[in-house]
Structure 1
Amino acid sequence: MNFCPQCAQPIAEALIDGEIRRACPDTECGFVHFNNPTPVVAMIVEVEGGVVLAHNVSWPRKFYSIITGFLEAGEDPLECAKRETLEELNLHALNTELIGVYSFPQQNQVIIAYHVEAAGEIKLNEELDDYKIVAVENLKGWNMGTGLAINDWVAKRLGAP
């Protein structure tokens, strides 16, 4: 952002509450760009046989992950989880459970993760071009973002301390 969205003045760095922020230099305008994280909902979608991992068309070929989607303004995170499961996989959420909330500073996101038991016939939307079903005991997360939710869910599911 180079210009203030309120008054069109060039944005500059300013010291605000002890932090350097990008802000409008016009004190009457008062705009401050706080760069708040974006809320993302992640779903560990479980179907018969395991968990759905999908490949996004823009990712490297070997990378698969759980389903994610951006939370819309005014949308309940649980409803977002159900909506994204239907939109991206054509699956209907039968049961849902909150796994946890995770910081993902690398992408400036906050991830709200759910376990979703789902049913139906998988039909991928235009964002995805492949998927695989992974047995719970073979599911392994990574040390950031949605991987943290996977690790927590698998540990709880398999009874790890």
Structure 2
Amino acid sequence: MNYCPQCGNVLVVGVAGGRERLLCSAACGYVYWNNPLPVVGAIVEYENDTVVLIQNRGWPADWFGLVTGFLEAGEQPDQAVLREIKEETGLDAEIVERLGLYTFYQRNEIIVVYHVRARGEIQLDEEELQAYKLVPIKELKPWPFGTGPAVRDYLELRLHRLKD
């Protein structure tokens, strides 16, 4: 962001709230807080002990990830994750548990990740997604950013529960 959305003057680096932020160079008082966006994500367990991974349009051929989406105004995270699963995969899902909150610094997002179980026939939203794959849970591997730490936590929790 380069210009103040209130008065159109140039934004400059200054201090607000104890941190460096972009501030309006005029006296209108605008501060660009750049707060993270709320996102929901799901580890979607499917038939035969598999997890559904999706590939967004434009991603490289070897990139797959969790079903994710933005929280909409007036929507609870639990509702949002079930809506996103239905919209993107056509599956009906039920929440098993909320795994946690994960910071995705590269995209300035806070992701609320759930473990869900889903049923039905997969029907991709072809406007958003270009592919999906079913990964056996025993072959699922976490990645180092975004929703990858949630996959790591899910696998550790699952392993711990299998031992009990």
Q: Normalization by structure 2: what TM-score?
A: 0.91
Gaps of 5+ in 1: none
Per-residue CA deviations over 1:14-51 (Å, capped at 9, x if unaligned) read 22244221111233x21100111111111111111210
Q: Contact 1:137/1:158 (CA < 8 Å) preserved in 2?
A: no
- Matched residues in 2 for 1:17 and 1:37: separation? 16
Q: Contact 1:92/1:119 (CA < 8 Å) preserved in 2?
A: yes
- Matched residues in 2 for 1:131 and 1:72: separation? 24
Please say if 1:110 is aligned against 2:110: yes
Please say if 1:40 is aligned against 2:39: yes
- Matched residues in 2 for 1:58 and 1:94: separation? 29
- Matched residues in 1 for 2:137 and 2:123: separation? 21
Task: List aligned pairs for 1:13-24, cutoff 5 A.
Answer: 13-24=13-24
Partner of 1:58: 58
Per-residue CA deviations over 1:37-75 (Å, capped at 9, x if unaligned) read 111111111111210011112100111111111111221
Please say if 1:148 is aligned against 2:149: yes
- Matched residues in 2 for 1:57 and 1:3: separation? 31
- Matched residues in 1 for 2:140 and 2:19: separation? 41
Partner of 1:85: 85
What is the total number of aligned residue pairs between the two structures? 160
Q: Which moved more, 1:143-152 or 1:2-11?
A: 2-11
Q: Normalization by structure 1: what TM-score?
A: 0.92
Partner of 1:121: 121
Deviation at 1:146, TM superposition (A): 0.3
Gaps of 5+ in 2: none
Q: Identical aligned pairs, as a percentage? A: 46
Instruction: Supply the RMSD in Å over aligned alpha carbons.
Output: 1.6
Distance 1:95 1:22, change over 3 A: closer
- Matched residues in 1 for 2:3 and 2:14: separation? 14
